[in-house]
Amino acid sequence: MQYTNNELKTHSVKELKKIWGEIYLKPAHPDMRKDLLIRNLVYYQHTRENGDLSPKIKKQLYKLYEEFKQNPDFQPTGSKPNLKPGTRLVREWQGTVHTVTIAAKGYEYQGDSYKSLSAIARLITGSQWSGPAFFGLNQGVKA
């Protein structure tokens, strides 16, 4: 039987686990949350209707997974600009020029160290920002 996301949301966790068992022929993990059950069931239906990921994509994802298991700090190529330590990012915001220096691990701003550009952008703007977007790095610029 086919279910929409909204239909699945109306079911209890017990009912969702029953559907899971009928589809996967094994019980869902006892601690699986409702939202995760729904996402998995919707994904299963999607793959039945549209096909699964191509073998090439699955192989690439598995390779990335293996690299991440070996090194949790692993960053896939192309996932962020290759900024070398010492590079400075400059952004004018509301009449003030802000300069961030790329460090060996992380970023330096006004004498303090930060793990992410987004934390710095949030500090500067007072609101949630993508750090790479705030500093103009999402345009394919490489230092």
pLDDT digits (tens, 9 = 90+) for 43-84: 888 888 888 888 888 898 888 888 888 887 776 665 556 788
pLDDT over threshold 60, residue 103: yes
Sign of CA pseudo-dihedral 16, 17, 18, 22: positive
**Considering the entire predicted model, what is its pTM?**
0.44
Percent of the chain scored above 70 by pLDDT?
91
Q: Which residue has the higher pLDDT, 115 or 80?
A: 115
Q: Is the dihedral of CA 44, 11, 18, 14 positive or negative?
A: positive
pLDDT for 17:
95
Average pLDDT, the chain: 86
- SS3 for 84? coil
